[in-house]
Structure 1
Amino acid sequence: MYQGRVHRVAEDGNAAIDGADRLVGHVRVLCDRFRALTGIQRPGRHRVNRPGRLPRWPLWLAGLLAGCGGEMSILDTAGSAARQQFWVWWAMLAVAVAVSLGVYALWFYTFCRREPASRTPREERRIMLRWVLGGGVALPVVSIVALLVFAAPTGRGMLPFPEGEAERIEVIGHQWWWEVRYPGEGEEREVVTANRLVMPAGEPVDFHLTSDDVIHAFWIPRLGGKRDMVPGRDSIVRLEADSPGVFGAQCAEYCGAQHTHMLLHVEALERDAFDAWLAERRSSPELQPGFDQAREAFGEHCAACHTVAGFPDELVVDDLEHDIRGPDLSDVGSRPSLGAGVLPMEEGAIAYWLQHHQTLKPGNRMPPHHHIDTETLHEIGAWLETLEP
C-alpha cells in the first residue's frame, strides 16, 4: 500500500510538471504570434506616425541644470563656507560615481566572462578573502578617511574661533516661525524681529541658534551651514556673505505639519546700510496718532501674545491663562512677508491674514478670531501696516 501511494504521488507530481510546461509553451506561442502580428501590421510605426520626432534628452538636461541655480541651491554659492561645501559635494559625487561604475563593470563582467577553470577550495577561499578585505574593509576605510581629511577644514571654517570680531545674531526657532534678535551693547536697546534676518555683507557673522519647542534646523543654502536647533541648547555657526543680496532660508528638520511653511527671508547689506537698519530699530519708537480703536482692540485681543515696542501698558489686557508666544510686531509693516513666507506683505495683507490664518497655515498657534467682527480686524490690520521704523 505504501509503495502504491508513493507511485501515485510521483505520477501526480509529474502530471503537474507536464501541465505547467504545456502552459508555458502556450504562452510562448501566443507571445510569438503577437509579436509577428504587430510586426506585420505596423512596421516602423514610430517613424510613420511621428516623423521628425525631437529627442527628449535636451529637456532632461535642462531640468537637471535648472537645479544648479536659485536662492535655495547649494551649487549657487555666495559665501566662503558654501564654496567649501560645494567642493566637498563634488568630491563625494565623483567618488560615488566611480564606485558605482566599478560595481557595474564587475557585474557585467560576471555575465560576459567565460567559465573559469576549476579551482581548489583553498584558491576559492583566497579569492573570497581578497574581495572581502579589499572591497569590504580597505575601500570603505580609505574612502572615509580621505573624505574626513578633505572635509575637516570645511567644518572648522564654520566654527566661531576667536579670530577677529564677528557680528552676533541670535535666531530662535518656533513652530512655525523664526525669532531673530540683535543684542545691544551697554544701554542700547535690543532689536527683535521675526521671519526676517538682516546681516552685514563681507564679514563673518556668528549665529547663536536654539529652539523654543521642538528640534528645528537653520539652513541658508547659498551661504552654507545646516545646524540643528535643539531646545535648551545653544549652538553657534559662523557664516559670511560675499556681497549684498537676498537669500532664501528654510527649516531643514521636520518640525510638524507646517514645516514647509517655515521660511526665513535673509538680506545681506553693506556695513553702513546694516548699521542704519539697526539704528532705526534701536531708536525709541513713536506710535502714529490715530487708530485709537485699533490699538484698544489690539490690547484686548492680541497684546497678550504679541509685543509692539512703545505700546501703552494700560491698554494691554492679559487675563488669559496661556503659554502662547507670538512674533514681535514692532516693525511688521516693513517685513517682506507674513506667516513665515505664506503671504507677501502688501496693503490689506495683515487683515486678510487675521481673518484666514488657520486656512492659510492650518495648525498655527494663533487662535481663530471668529469672535471679532470683520471691521475691527481690518482696523487692526491697517494700524499694524503702519508699524515701520
Structure 2
Amino acid sequence: MARADAQAGWPASIFDPAGPYAGSVTTLSWILIAMSTAVLALVIFAFWAALFGNDRLKKRLGGTRAIWIGGVAFPVVVLTMLLIYGLTLTRNLTTPVPEEAMRVRVTGEMWWWRVAYLDPDGQPYMLDANELHIPVGRPVVLELESSDVIHSFWVPQLSGKLDMVPGRRNIMPIQADRPGVFGGQCAEFCGGAHALMGFVVVAHEPAAFDRLMAQRRAPRPQQAAEGGAALFREKGCAACHRIAGTQANGAAGPDLSHVAARRTLGAGILPNNQGTLMGWIGDSQSIKPGNRMPAYKMLSAQELQQLADYLGQQR
C-alpha cells in the first residue's frame, strides 16, 4: 500500500500549493488558523481570569460593556472583514478561464473516476480513468459530474474541493506551476469504499505533455499476447471495458486503453504491476469490497497471466 500511496502523490500537503488556485486556498487557511489560535488564546485567558483573576478583572469581564464589545462588535467586525477578504482572495476560483484552456470532464463513479479529454467542441477525444495528465503553467477547466451519488473532487495541491452532484455539471479550474504527481481523494462520503477512491494528477512540462498526448492518440497495433485478447472477449471483459483500437467498447467500467501506464490500480490503492493486476482481475472484491467488478475466481493462474500480459500492452 505504501508503494501505491507514493505513486499516487500521497501524502498530499494542503500547505504545499503547486498552483495559483491552491495558493489562494492555502493563504486563507493560514489566516483562519492564526485567527482561531488567537481566539482560543483569548478564551483561555478569559477562563483563567474568571477562575483566578482579582475581583476588579472579573467585574470588567462580566460587565455589559465587555459583552457588547467581545460578544457582538468584535465578531461582527472581524467576520465581516474576513468574509470580504476571503471572497477577494479566492475570486480566482470562480473567475472564467480563457476559452482556449484545456478542458477535461471528470465523472465520479462508485468508487472510481471516469476521465474524458475534451476537444474545442466539448466532445471526448481520449478516455482514461483515475488519472489526469496536464501541462505545467496552463489552466485546465474540469467539468465535474456524477453518475450515481454525490462525490467531491479534491486535489489539495492544485485547488479547493468541489462537489459532484448527479444531474449537475460543476466547473473547477486547476493549474500546476511545477511538474509533479499530485494526489487527490473523494472528499464527500459516498459509500462503503469512499476512503479507497483516490485520484492522481500528473503535471508535465509542455513539450513532454504534447509528446504524451501525441503518443496516446496515435493508432496502435494490437497484439494477441498469448491469447489474452481472445480471453478478454470470451470472458466478457469487453462488455464493461473499452480498449481503443479494438472491438472492446464497454462503457460500464474504467477505460483500459492506457491501463498499463497508470501509476496505480483500483483508484489509488494498489501499485500497478503484473502481480497486482492478476490479483485485481481474479478477486477485486477481496481488495476493494463493494466495487462493481465481480470476482473471476473461475479463471486459472495461466488465464490470469494471459489477461495481465495483454493489458500490460495497453499504454
Distance 2:56 2:96 in 1: 60
Distance 1:188 1:89 in 2: 37
Q: Secondary structure at the match of 1:348?
A: helix
Q: Name the residue aligned to 1:287.
A: 222
Distance 1:335 1:110 in 2: 60
Q: Name the residue aligned to 1:10.
A: none
Distance 2:97 2:124 in 1: 25
User: Counting helix residues as a fraction of each chain, which structure ranks higher?
Assistant: 1
> Which consecutive segments of 4 or more residues in structure 1 shift more than 6 A?
186-189
Q: Secondary structure at the match of 1:275?
A: helix
Q: Name the residue aligned to 2:141.
A: 206
| Residues 1:344 and 1:370: Cα distance change in structure 2 (over 3 Å) | same
Equivalent positions of 1:109-258 (< 5 A) are: 109-115=49-55, 127-128=63-64, 130-163=65-98, 165-185=100-120, 190-258=125-193
Unaligned runs of 5+ in 1: 1-68, 319-323
Tell me the amino acid that sits aligned with residue 187 of structure 2.
Answer: A
CA contact (8 A) 2:103 2:119 kept: no
1:47-69 Cα offsets, whole Å, 9 max, x none, are: xxxxxxxxxxxxxxxxxxxxxx9
CA contact (8 A) 1:71 1:221 kept: no
Q: Name the residue aligned to 2:233.
A: 299
Say whether 1:366 aligns with 2:306: no
CA contact (8 A) 1:188 1:282 kept: no
Q: What percent of counterpart residues are identical?
A: 39
| Residues 1:116 and 1:266: Cα distance change in structure 2 (over 3 Å) | closer
Distance 1:305 1:163 in 2: 36
| Greater RCO (Cα-Cα under 8 Å, separation 6 or more) | 2
Q: Secondary structure at the match of 1:224?
A: coil
How many residues are aligned here?
Answer: 305
CA RMSD of aligned residues (A): 2.7
Distance 1:328 1:70 in 2: 24
| Residues 1:155 and 1:375: Cα distance change in structure 2 (over 3 Å) | same
| Residues 1:241 and 1:71: Cα distance change in structure 2 (over 3 Å) | farther
Q: Name the residue aligned to 1:97.
A: 37
Structure with higher Rg: it is: 1
CA contact (8 A) 2:274 2:308 kept: no
Q: CA deviation at 1:164?
A: 6.2
1:176-225 Cα offsets, whole Å, 9 max, x none, are: 11111111357997110111110111121111111111111111111121
Alignment match of 1:327 (pick from 254, 261, 266): 254
The TM-score with structure 2 as length reference comes to: 0.88
Tell me the amino acid that sits aligned with residue 104 of structure 1.
Answer: I
CA contact (8 A) 1:217 1:253 kept: yes
Alignment match of 1:376 (pick from 291, 296, 303): 303
The TM-score with structure 1 as length reference comes to: 0.72
